[in-house]
Amino acid sequence: MTSFETHRRRAHDTSRPVRARRAAFRTCVVCFAPYGFRAAYHHLCRSARIPADPCDDPASLIRAVEELHAARTLRVADETAFMARRRREKAAGRRHLTADGSRRDRGRGPGGSLAHCPDHERHFTEPLPISRRAV
């Protein structure tokens, strides 16, 4: 399995060709796509203003991967807190999940995404760290 952080570093590496940096960014989206690959990729391309030819604005790839990284950091923190809570519950003898009002209680969309966007061009307009909190 590929590493999000490895590809994030590759997307930042200005010594690499822009095409390789764009491929690294796309792999980051594969690793963490909060509402499906197509919708998340489209969202990031719009919010970071990635041009059709990324050579015109290579910094846009960095903006996009950093927005994705900020959302992923929040998700990792949520998962870490959940795992700690589950360990405490299991130690106390509670083997079944208890509802805590989190996003986890609402289920997941197709493909394991946090929210399903059947039309990849219709999604949240806020930055990913903000919109993923609404999901």
Does residue 126 have a pLDDT over 50? Answer: yes
pTM over 0.85, yes/no: no
For residue 113, report the phi and psi dihedrals to the nearest 5 degrees.
-75, 155
Q: Give ∠ CA 76-82-88 in degrees, rounded to 5.
A: 140
Q: Is the C-alpha dihedral spanning 102, 104, 106, 110 positive or negative?
A: positive
Mind listing the pLDDT tens digit for each residue in 73-125? 988 998 899 899 989 999 999 888 777 655 555 454 444 444 555 555 555 66
* H or E element at residue 71: helix 59-91
Pairwise CA distance, residues 38 & 89, whole Å? 37
